[in-house]
Every structure is written in structure tokens, then in C-alpha cells.
Amino acid sequence: MSTLVVQGLRKSFGGVRAVSDVSFHVAPGEMLALIGPNGAGKSTCFNMVGGQLPPDAGTVLLEGRPITGLSPRAIAHRGVGRTFQITATFGSMTVRENVQMALLAHRREIWQFWRPVAGRHADKADALLDQVGLAAQADRATSVLAYGDLKRLELAIALGNGPRLLLMDEPTAGMAPAERVALMQLTRRLATERGMAVLFTEHDMDVVFDVSDRILVLNRGQLMAEGNGASIRANPAVREVYLGSGATSGGH
């Protein structure tokens, strides 16, 4: 069974059709890249799957169960993870404490704020940090982490809930090229090990071709192509619309 099935998803903002009748699926352990030029509707798709935006039409199924239009919290609880930007609020906490806090939040134990975080879920936090290559940084203040390590911490936090589907909207934005590849190869390995489906978007085409199993190309809200790296590279319409647009290397 597909981990994620999206059927006929649609969203307009005023007169702008941001997403028109988009359908796709993601299999367990699969890395699916959703690419397209700026304004193509990628983030709108992520936000409809993650519950941040209600779709105008269409359905979203997670392991066969409808999650369409549920709250982000309810969708997270059903097994959808998302990488978030870490806020400065937790900068004074150690790397391990940030993961522990996230584990408490996932388990809805966050209200027990008067109990010290130390010791709670510490082993699980260390296991997650080990998986993302941050074991050696566990006791450092989050505020002193290099940017690439902060992104790894975000990944550890997103994995805390044992997601079946991980949504990553430009996870490597602002990173150096070598770090981008490393983060996405790490994600690729975790997806395989956990049988976790990953839907991601990324402006660096080298990274996309390197780590994705399959690529979807969105343009003006519509899916225009689907295939592996070789078929997407060879598709003349894609070359014209996307690769020709100048959006071939990092960021915006």
C-alpha cells in the first residue's frame, strides 16, 4: 500500500490557481522530489498534506486513511513528520535537550514543564542524535551549532515521532552544496532503513537527481511530468519550463 496518496488536490488564492487537480503517491521508503519553478505550487501542496492549509478539493490518504483537512496536530499524530526551522527560544538548551523537548511534545507530556527535562527520554534522544550524526554534539548549546548541524537537529526532531511520511520543504535552503548532498543522502538512508516515505522539494537539481527515486514536476499548479532522473532530464518540456528558468542551483 502507498504511504501517501493524493488525489485531485486543488487550491486557489483569490483568482490564482496555486494547485490544480494534482494527484500522486509515495511508496514506503521512497524519496519523491516535487520540483518546479518559483510559485509552481510546491509549498501549497506540502501545506495541504501537512494540514496547514485546507484544500478546496481533493483527498489525502495516509496508509489508506483519509487525513484531508485535519489539523496539523492531528496529521502529525497520525504519522506525518515535518522539518521545522528551530527557533532561537531553545538556543540556550543543549542539542540533547531540544530533542528531549520534542519527544515530550510528541507524547503530549509537555505540560509537565515543572519536571526537569534531564533524564526524560534521554536514551531515545541520544539514539536519534546518533542516527543523524550529532552524537558528539549532544551536550553543546544549540546556539553554537553550525548551520548544517542545526539542519541535522531539525531532522532528528522530526524523526522523534517515528513518522511514516516525512515532508521536507526546501530542507537544505541556505546550506553549502556539499552539506546539502550529505543531509539528503542521510535522509535517503533513514528512509530506506525505516521504510519511511519522504516527499521533499529542493532547488539544487544535482541533489534532486542524486537522491530521489522519482521526480514530479509542477508548473503553474499542474503536474507536467513524472519519472526518474534520466527521463526528467531528457524531457524537452521540463527543460524549457524548469531547467531553462535559471532555477538550477541553490536557493531562490
Binding site for ligand ATP (CB under 6 A): 13, 16, 18, 36, 38-44
Q: Is 75 left (phi over 0), alpha (psi -120 to 50) or beta?
A: alpha
User: Shortest gap between Cβ of 57 and ligand ATP (angstroms)?
Assistant: 16
Which of residues 39 and 229 has its CB atom nearest to ligand ATP in the complex?
39
User: Shortest gap between Cβ of 201 and Mg ion (angstroms)?
Assistant: 7
* Amino acid letter, 159: L
Which of residues 38 and 228 has its CB atom nearest to ligand ATP in the complex?
38
52 binds Mg ion (CB under 5 A): no
Query: CA-to-CA distance for 67 and 25, rounded, in angstroms?
Result: 14
For residue 59, give Cα distances in angstroms to 40, 54, 63, 189: 20, 10, 13, 29
Query: CA-to-CA distance for 63 and 98, rounded, in angstroms?
Result: 29
Exposed, middle or buried, 224 (CB in 10 Å: 0-12/13-18/19+)?
middle
The H or E element that residue 166 is part of is: strand 165-169
Which of residues 42 and 151 has its CB atom nearest to Mg ion in the complex?
42
User: Shortest gap between Cβ of 41 and ligand ATP (angstroms)?
Assistant: 4
188 touches 31 (CB < 8 A) = yes
Which of residues 49 and 104 has its CB atom nearest to ligand ATP in the complex?
49
43 binds Mg ion (CB under 5 A): yes
* Amino acid letter, 212: S
Location of C-alpha cell 506540502: 46
Which of residues 161 and 219 has its CB atom nearest to ligand ATP in the complex?
219
User: Shortest gap between Cβ of 52 and ligand ATP (angstroms)?
Assistant: 10
Which parts of this chain interact with Mg ion (CB under 5 A)?
Answer: 42-43
